[in-house]
Every structure is written in structure tokens, then in C-alpha cells.
A and B are shown apart, each in its own frame.
Chain A
């Protein structure tokens, strides 16, 4: 049963610290999405990768957030420095992204708390 994995599941950190979240997409999927979920804003798309290339990161605060995909099995989302307003659940999703394939498969999320 193929699924997206994310680590860590929970992270508590102090303001100003660096946070790195990791995602392993489903094998064979060539697209990766990063989302942020909060009560106030709901699901927000932060970044999109296809074939490991970042094609859209317009939803991401550029000054402190960065997303990379060093290889096909690993996507990372980094926040440096972190702020209390970054507290949220961060989801990674993967998909095939070809033709009419819009389906995305979500990981369990990383719950981030910045104090």
C-alpha cells in the first residue's frame, strides 16, 4: 500500500530556530505539492514540484521559506528563522501530474508549533 510519508509528525521549536520538514512521495509520482493548513486560512498551496524542479512557489513567504527536492525520493521544506505565525500543519502530497491526472495523495502532515 504505497503512501506519502512525512517526518517529523510533530515539531515544537522556539522562535528563530530553523525547521526542516521532510517528505517521501509515492514511488513513480513525479509531482510534489506542499500545503499549509490553519484554522483561519484552511489549506494553502505553498509550492509545487514536477520532476524535481520547482515550478511554482508563489504561495510561499520567500524571505524565510525554502523548498527543495534533492532527489526523487525526498522533498524538503525549510523555515529559517521560524516565527509563531508559522505554527500550522504542513502537508506534502504527490501525484502523477500528467494529462488529466489531478489526483493528489497526501501524507499525514507535520504539526509545527513555534513558541
Chain B
């Protein structure tokens, strides 16, 4: 069955430090992969997506993610974190199930940023 694992529940980084959030997926075919961000009190906002082609994808707010098929991973990165990046981050895989396209979400990683 398709699944998404985000191994880190909480991560704390200092402002200006680099960031990598881990995501592993289980999916039989070529995956459609997404990262969403949820700021406190807000809905989920799409950061970036991978469908095919270049395995390094760029997103909004300076984020990027790299698809590694051999590791079944789609880790999110940012070279220098800003205090406004404190939020919860969700990785998701797109799947065709029960007759429609749906997203399977990971449990999320909550990011705290220290000044």
C-alpha cells in the first residue's frame, strides 16, 4: 500500500542555518510527490511538486527538493532558514485509488527556528 513516512516529528534549527526535512515514500509506480507547508492557523500551501524530469525541483520561498528513486526519498531543503519558515511541513504522494486521484500525506514535521 502507498505510504509516506516523515521520520522527524520536530526539528529545531537556528536562523540562517541550512535545513533538510526527510520524506520517504512507498509507491509501486513513478510517484507524484509534493511538499506542503502549514503555518499556524492556516491551511496547507503547496511548496513544490515532482512529476518527472529533473530530480531536483525548485519551489516557492527558496525551498528545493530532490527525488531519489533508489532511496525512495524526496527530501526538502533550504540553504538558509528564516524565522518565518517556522511551520509544519507535510510530504505527500499522489495516488490513483478508489477511482480518483488522491494525496497520501505524511504525519508532518514541525519546524522551530531559533533566533
Contacts and interface: CB of A to CB of B under 8 A. Distances in A.
Contacts of B42: 108-109
B44 A31 contact: no
Given A43-B90, A102-B34, A103-B49, A97 B43 contact: no
Given A42-B107, A42-B108, A43-B90, A101 B101 contact: yes
Contacts, number: 55
B105 to A, nearest CB: 5
Contacts of A102: 32, 34, 94-95, 101-103
Nearest to A95: B101
B11 interface: no
B99 interface: yes
Interface string A15-37: 00000000000000001010000
Sort chain A's interface into a size bin: 20 to 34
Interface in A46-64: 48, 50, 55-56, 58
Chain B binding surface SS class: strand
Contact of B100 (A4, A42, A55, A91): A55
| Residue among A48, A101, A102 having the largest count of chain B Cβ atoms under 10 Å | A102
Interface in A84-102: 91, 93, 95, 97, 100-102
Interface residues of B, number: 23
A100 B103 CA distance: 12
B100 A97 contact: yes
B71 interface: no
| Residue among B32, B41, B43 having the largest count of chain A Cβ atoms under 10 Å | B43
B103 A104 contact: yes
Contact of B44 (A58, A95, A106): A106
A109 B43 CA distance: 6
A105 B46 contact: yes
A114 interface: no
A-B CB proximity, top 10 nearest? A102-B94, A106-B43, A106-B44, A108-B43, A102-B101, A43-B105, A102-B32, A42-B107, A107-B43, A109-B43
Interface of B: 32, 34, 36, 41-46, 49, 51, 90, 94-95, 98-103, 105, 107-108
